[in-house]
Amino acid sequence: MKRIITGAVAALLASTLVQAQEGWDDVEIKAQHLRGGIHVLFGRGGNIGVSAGVDGVILVDDQYAPLTDKIKAAVADISDQPLRYVINTHFHGDHTGGNENLGEIAVIVAHDNVRQRLSEGAFIAAFNMTMPPHSGPGLPTVTFNSEMSLHFNDDEARIIHAKNAHTDGDSFIWFKGANVIHMGDLMFNGMFPFIDVSNGGSIGGILSALDTAITIADDETLVIPGHGQVTDKAGLVAYKKTMRDMAGIIGKLKAEGKSLEEIQAARPLAAYEETLHQFSEGWVDQFIGFIYDSL
């Protein structure tokens, strides 16, 4: 039986990565403690990482603007220290929508391409949707090209760019002391993911980023995906194998000269539909297209 996501995760794609206009009052921000000062917040949109300690608070991503007050309240339950930094893992609205509110009180950090996409606006072809330009406090004020670190809360938050992966501006964050990695949308745990090919994403970049994270991780590492439940190195390895295997299936059919429509009609990923969630009916065909177009 195909597994279709409902509820908060489905809202991500149902609203095509922009702010839905209804249901914000019903969203509950739930916190999960991982270890030390590291927590994860689940709500509507991308999972939020939290580093809380003597120096203050770092947020990794910030979901949607209408949820900012709820997110602040959830953070206040974790720490009474001020918010100092927000790290954007990429530019999509379910990860950066809160920038416009939080940029007034915190420094926003992101890859160079995230600031460019946010400042210029972007078209997401998979949803035929245009994101309008951001300005002022909604834009990252500290950007980087490859890697950088925040030395904060007696830890090092190492921010590592993943080239042409989910988008062209993705990063994952390794809290080295706590041994926790936030993958952003380089990982959709238990789901057929979204790859934003129209904004520089590719399956090859996803696989390369996963390889890098796997090399960093050890058997004690906890992994926060962009969507889905917290996992570990074994989960990261399993996810990478699944992505590699599905890419191999589509790549072989494309190399044989099959068109995208022929491949979709053949349902070559039917076995995976039994175990991986879909965002909506027809999402597997979308996912096949992401792979096909980026090979």
Taking only the tens place, the pLDDT of each residue in 54-63 is: 999 999 999 9
Q: What are phi and psi of 124, to 5 degrees?
A: -105, 100
Q: How confident is the model at residue 280 (pLDDT cuts 50, 70, 90)?
A: confident
- Residues with Cβ < 8 Å from 59, sequence gap 6 or more? 48, 49, 50, 71, 75, 83, 85, 86, 87, 102, 106
Q: What share of the chain has pLDDT > 90, as a percent?
A: 90
Place of tokens 């403690």: 33
Round the average pLDDT of the chain to a whole number and report it.
Answer: 93
Range from 17-26, 74-83, 182-191 carrying the lowest mean pLDDT? 17-26
Tell me the torsion sign for CA atoms 239, 275, 169, 83.
negative
Tell me, what amino acid is at 21? Answer: Q
> What pLDDT does 59 receive?
98
Q: What is the mean predicted confidence (pLDDT) over 13-20? A: 46
Selection from 168, 169, 181, 174 nearest residue 140 by Cα: 169
Beta strands in 8-67 (DSSP E): 30-35, 38-42, 48-53, 56-60
How far apart are the C-alpha atoms of 158 and 146, rounded to whole Å? Answer: 11
Name all domains of the chain by residue range, CATH numbers in brackets: 28-247 (3.60.15.10)
H or E segment and range at residue 87: strand 83-87
Is residue 58 within 8 Å of residue 149, measured between CB atoms?
Answer: no
DSSP notation for 127-188: GTEEEPPP-GGGS-SEEESSEEEEEETTEEEEEEEETTSSSSSEEEEEETTTTEEE-GGG-B
Q: What is the mean predicted confidence (pLDDT) over 243-254? A: 98
How far apart are the C-alpha atoms of 182 and 184, rounded to whole Å? Answer: 6
How far apart are the C-alpha atoms of 227 and 13, rounded to whole Å? Answer: 12
Helix H segments across the chain?
8-14, 68-78, 93-96, 99-102, 112-120, 203-216, 233-255, 260-266, 283-294
> What pLDDT does 3 receive?
43
In this model, does residue 50 exceed pLDDT 70?
yes
> What pLDDT does 7 receive?
37
Q: What are phi and psi of 260, to 5 degrees?
A: -60, -45
> What pLDDT does 22 receive?
66
- Residues with Cβ < 8 Å from 228, sequence gap 6 or more? 9, 47, 187, 188, 189, 190, 191
> What pLDDT does 281 receive?
85
> What pLDDT does 171 receive?
98
